[in-house]
Amino acid sequence: MKRKNGKHQEHTIQGKGDEVHQIAGGGVPTLTTQQGIPVSDDQNSLKVGPRGPTTLEDFHLREKIFHFDHERIPERVVHARGYGAHGYFETYEALTDLTSADLFQRAGEKTPAFVRFSTVAGNKGSADLARDVRGFAVKLYTQQGNWDIVGNNIPVFFIQDAIKFPDLIHAAKAEPDRDFPQAQTAHDNFWDFASLMPESMHMIMWIMSDRAIPRSLRFMEGFGVHTFRLINAAGKSTFVKFHWKPKLGMQSVIWNEAVKINGADPDFHRRDLWAAIQSGNYPEWELGLQLFDDKFANEFEFDILDATKLIPEEQVPIRRVGRLVLDRCVDNFFAETEQVAFCTSNIVPGVDFSNDPLLQGRNFSYLDTQIKRLGGPNFTHIPINAPKCPFHNFQQDGHMAMVNPKGRVNYEPNSWPSPEGGPRESPTTGFQSFPAEEQDSKIRQRSETFADHYSQARQFYISQTKTEQEHIANSLVFELSKVEKLAIRVRLVSHLPHIDVELADRVAKGLGLHEKVQPAKAARETRTDLKPSKTLSIVQNPPKSFAGRKVGILVTDGTDRDLFDALIKAIEAEKATFEVIAPAVGGAKASDGTMIEAQQKVGGGPSVLYDAVAVIPSAEGCQPLLKNAAARDFVSDAFAHLKFVGYVESAKPLFDKAGIDIDGGFIALNKAKGPATFIAACRKLRQWDREQFVIT
């Protein structure tokens, strides 16, 4: 082929050739293709002359573009937006009486772990603070293989049988003709489905509560949802439900606050988890077990195989048996968080399934899903999914095989001696399924023991404080107000009298339903003898300290340096963190002439990003803030979101300008003990008494 200018074109970086060679000679590894072939020029494709067509033989170009084109794998159908971290699980005590699972055999045993948190309905690009269930999936790399506890931050679910899962998710996702709304259930399809599925009403109470808008991934509970079995060495079975209890306590946000957080920082949850781990404030949860036998299962008011039901902790107390610590962020989000594959079917000897029909369906679905997402059956070869214990089998070949089997034997049984004959089954140490006796007809039928759809929904509702009940009512009104079809609104509200008549009336009134809504037909009458369970309320289970939370400190030029330092000291003594907000991100000059470094500028650090705020401008520095809409929003939002506010006298003009009346949630910092008093007040997290005076 002729060259247009008749001259050979060298493959060099124009104007940078010598510089690149100098850099490459300084100990930096040489760039190669994925086949290990050294690359001479990564700046120019191979062309016929400097302005000619690109050649088909440019293998480096083709490989580079090919790999780029395939950088994205199909995102998860559900739980697409997730964030993960590494850590370990430490056993408090040996549980040999309950299970033969290796990680529970020795007190102090530390098992490597990877945890992925997620939302359910939104895509990868959605925001963190959507009103949604949160996935809480834990992979434990035990010495007997990988054990996945694939759960949520809510202990019950919408449906009782896995065959309805595609319908649930189709209804909850964006409507297929218009592809919106994204990461929201406030639309006709979801509420149409829910209104026709009375079994979902318990879960509806949970997702309309503050549980569905957690303040942080670090401040929420996790649940295994289903009933499982623990099996000891003698073959004895004990039923178990798994709970993860956050050591920092629970905390949620207010809906108006969640909406504004999504606008200010859609990565709020993942940024919070990353920052906590990077700063050494490692999040911790305790693993709690609810343990019960066949006698309790037979006498309990509801069926333990029904995933729309829970067992109140007052009836079966939680036994805390270990702690989960997240102490390392991922090195690469895609390689680890995006490619991690959880399967409910991944259990270890000493753990077994129950006949929960939702769990049984998940055991099929998850493996099939991972094969689709990750390209084939060898997704277990990916490092984040591979066991950390030795593993041996005769599985071979398949798409993207990354383990190279050796030897001639690839079948079993075989007569070849060890080691050529390969691994053998072990009746003594291998997984043994619990020999439960099963004898019945093959039918498509729901158990009558699953028929009570309202009693536990009522129990959850009456277990909430008045404030939390109001939030549930407001959430229902908001969601249903987005439903265009009146019949769907009416049908959904018709379920509420079975839960609470006052709730039904409040929602009906909020939606402007003028005719009295007739209660839906109930398969079983609601039980009114179930007592409130205090553990179901967030407000009734406040944290013991303000640890792990963040204070936003608004400063200006002239801010009192001694006060600022005292405030920081009080915050750090509580093991909380802080960010400084100033008129300019460069910071502010304090009263003593030193600079106070700022992490945010007014407008870039709204108060929704903090658990409490301190407003400590100088009198002179406060004047420009009066004309600054972002500064006024900073204090008015803090007030509306019921946050505690530390302040100095010179900040009062800003409060007046924002139309704020100082109440008991405002703590003066001018006094010597002001900072300590402010932080002590913050332990309550919210000034709930204020809510009756504001609309959130």
| Active-site residue set | 79, 152
The span from the CA of 82 to the CA of 137, in Å, is 10
First to last CA, the chain: 73
Residues 571, 679: contact at Cβ < 8 Å? Answer: yes
- Other CB atoms closer than 10 Å to residue 409's CB: what's the count? 15
For 271, residues 6+ apart whose C-beta sits below 8 A from its C-beta are: 265
- Name which of 45, 89, 81, 91 is nearest 65 in CA terms: 45
- Name which of 44, 89, 95 is nearest 233 in CA terms: 95
- Name which of 313, 213, 686, 319 is nearest 536 in CA terms: 313
The span from the CA of 538 to the CA of 179, in Å, is 34
The span from the CA of 323 to the CA of 93, in Å, is 11
Residue 293, both tokens: 């036998």
Tell me the CB-side half-sphere exposure of residue 232, using CA atoms within 13 A.
10
Residue 283, both tokens: 């999040």
- Name which of 214, 205, 208, 254 is nearest 695 in CA terms: 254
Q: Can you list the alpha helix ranges (DSSP code H) found in 214-291?
A: 255-264, 268-278
Residue 302, both tokens: 């509801």
The CA–CA distances, whole Å, from 316 to 293, 300, 311, 455, 509 equal 11, 11, 7, 18, 38
Which run of H or E residues covers position 572? helix 561-573
For 365, residues 6+ apart whose C-beta sits below 8 A from its C-beta are: 162, 165
The CA–CA distances, whole Å, from 328 to 50, 186, 314, 380, 508 equal 48, 36, 35, 22, 48
- State the angle between helix axes of 268-278 and 255-264 in degrees (0 to 180), rounded to the nearest 10: 80
